[in-house]
Amino acid sequence: MAIRDIHLLGSPALRARATNARRSLEGRLKSEEGKLAVLEKEFNGGEPERNIDEFDFQKYLDRVARMRSAIKSVRVATTRAAGETALKQTGAILDRTAAKGVIKRETANRHKSRLAKFVQKLPA
């Protein structure tokens, strides 16, 4: 605010403008908080959604852990050859995990595709 506008500090017009701006920002904040809540619900803490057909919860957790460790083995590869061998094993594990219903087939394919792109970018 410029020095010439100091006389406007107490004016009703300035207070009304500030009130309108505050209301507008509060409305935007509320809508963004709603969007954030929806995204947090979808994210599910980074955990895949549990399939109802999976009765043995420990077996489900083991399959998820095996899948995650396989994905990490590709991500930590430093050369393309090591990445390709890890990718081959990971692809089989992802397919098996999808076949058991732990994750969806599309999710497994998406993981394999992204991992293949990652391996192609590794140095030879």
DSSP H or E segment with residue 74: helix 57-75
The structure tokens 């594990």 sit at 93
Q: Which candidate, 37, 36, 45, 77, places its Cα nearest to that of 64? A: 45
pLDDT of 83: 95
DSSP 84-108: HHHHHHHHHHHHHHHHTTSS-HHHH
Every domain of the chain and the residues it spans: 3-43, 47-121
Which pTM value belongs to this model? 0.56
Phi, psi of 74 (to 5 degrees): -75, -40
pLDDT of 99: 93
pLDDT of 106: 95
Neighbour tally for 67: CB within 10 Å: 21
pLDDT by residue for the chain (124 residues), tens only, comes to 555 555 556 678 778 888 888 899 999 999 999 888 888 887 777 776 766 665 788 888 999 999 999 999 999 999 999 999 999 999 999 999 999 889 999 999 999 999 999 999 999 8
Q: Which fold has domain 47-121?
A: Methane Monooxygenase Hydroxylase; Chain G, domain 1 (1.20.58)
Residues 87, 92: Cα–Cα separation, whole Å: 9
pLDDT of 38: 84
Contact 103, 97 (CB under 8 A): yes
Residues 75, 73: Cα–Cα separation, whole Å: 6
pLDDT of 8: 57
pLDDT of 13: 79
